[in-house]
Structure 1
Amino acid sequence: MNIRESELPGIGRKFEIVTANDDKIVIVIHDDGRREIHHYEDDDFEESLSTVTFTDAEARGIASILGGMVYKPKALETVEMAFDDLVIEWYKVLSNVPAVDKTIAELDVRSKYDITIIAVLKKNHKKVLNPGPETTIEAGDTLVISGERKNLKNAIRELLIREGG
């Protein structure tokens, strides 16, 4: 797979992907959170065959499906066993979710969910690697969290999803 990334000033970022089968898709991530996926004809990389647009929440839901959070292909079981079912997930913190403006200590994710926040990518692009208990989670941050799949799903559902969806 070949991936080319480029900035789209005033719009966001563009990712051009050509798979091992020579399928080409382009993913545009808009600054407002929308995602577009464009699919191209095998022999014509200029004219898009189809386009699908997703909200941020829809894109994350699809990413969890593609990434194996919903269904784990049998072939991946041996890889996950090597890591004792460890999963690492990147999750963007939306506004008005229970985790916003709370410290890692207040969330007590290690005791309550048996997961670890291993990094916080702050909305100002500052990286907090191995964040301490005093680190405050803010809307717009991206959390890098690890743990077993079921524990991650519980924590995400209870701390990072707005009530009502």
Structure 2
Amino acid sequence: MKMRESELPGIGKKIEIFTRSADKITIILHEDGTRELYHFHENDDEECVSNVRFDDDEARQISAILGGMAYKPKALESVEAALDKLMIEWFKIESGSLADQETIGALGIGEHYHVTVIAVVKKDRGKILNPGSETVISEGDTLVISGERNELTRLMKEKLTASERDV
């Protein structure tokens, strides 16, 4: 597979991918977090056949599927076993979640969920690497978290997504 990356001033980045089977896919990464995916005609790599636009959350979900996080083909099961089902997930804190304006310690992320917060990417794009228990999480922040799949899922459902009382 070959890739070519270029800057799109005021827009973001463009990545052109040429697969081993000679398909061409172009991905536009917008500065606002949206992504566009373009697929080109097999005999004419300038003729766009289809395109799809994803918001940040949709793009991450599709990325997880393509990367084997949501479904792992049999060939990857041995890798998963070697890592003892350890996963790394990026999750944006939703408005109305219990995590909004709480500290990592108060949420019991490590103690109750056995999950480690590797980093916090603040909504203003500032980064906190290896945040401590006193780090405050806000709506719109993205957590980089690591743990076992079932614990990550439980944490996201119970603390990081909008609670049902606010929906």
- Shorter-chain TM-score bucket reads 0.7 to 0.9
Identify if the C-alpha distance between structure 1 residues 47 and 98 changes in structure 2 by more than 3 Å, giving closer, same or farther.
Answer: farther
In our comparison, the structure showing a higher alpha carbon Rg is 2
Identify if the C-alpha distance between structure 1 residues 11 and 98 changes in structure 2 by more than 3 Å, giving closer, same or farther.
Answer: farther
Identify if the C-alpha distance between structure 1 residues 40 and 129 changes in structure 2 by more than 3 Å, giving closer, same or farther.
Answer: same
TM-score normalised by structure 2 residue count: 0.83
Residue correspondences, number: 165
Unpaired runs of 5+ residues, structure 1, are none
Q: Which residue of 2 aligns with 1:67?
A: 67
- The residue type equivalent to 1:10 in the other structure is G
Are 2:48 and 1:53 aligned? no
Q: Which residue of 2 aligns with 1:133?
A: 133
Q: Distance in 1 between matches of 2:144 and 2:82?
A: 20
Unpaired runs of 5+ residues, structure 2, are none
**Shift >6 Å, 4+ stretches:** none
Q: Distance in 2 between matches of 1:17 and 1:94?
A: 32
Percent identity of equivalent pairs: 54
Q: State the Cα distance separating 1:46 from its structure 2 match.
A: 1.9
Q: Which residue of 2 aligns with 1:105?
A: 105
TM-score normalised by structure 1 residue count: 0.83
- The residue type equivalent to 2:2 in the other structure is N
- The residue type equivalent to 2:41 in the other structure is E
Q: Which residue of 1 aligns with 2:33?
A: 33
| Stretch of structure 1 that moved more, 7-16 or 49-58 | 7-16
Q: Distance in 2 between matches of 1:135 and 1:6?
A: 36
Q: Which residue of 1 aligns with 2:114?
A: 114
Asked if the contact 1:69/1:149 (under 8 Å) is kept, the reply is no
Identify if the C-alpha distance between structure 1 residues 128 and 41 changes in structure 2 by more than 3 Å, giving closer, same or farther.
Answer: same
- The residue type equivalent to 1:123 in the other structure is K
CA RMSD of aligned residues (A): 2.3
Identify if the C-alpha distance between structure 1 residues 5 and 138 changes in structure 2 by more than 3 Å, giving closer, same or farther.
Answer: farther
Q: Which residue of 2 aligns with 1:155?
A: 155
Q: Deviations over 1:79-107 (max 9, x none)?
A: 11111111111223343333222211111
Q: Deviations over 1:9-49 (max 9, x none)?
A: 33333222222333221122333433211011234322211
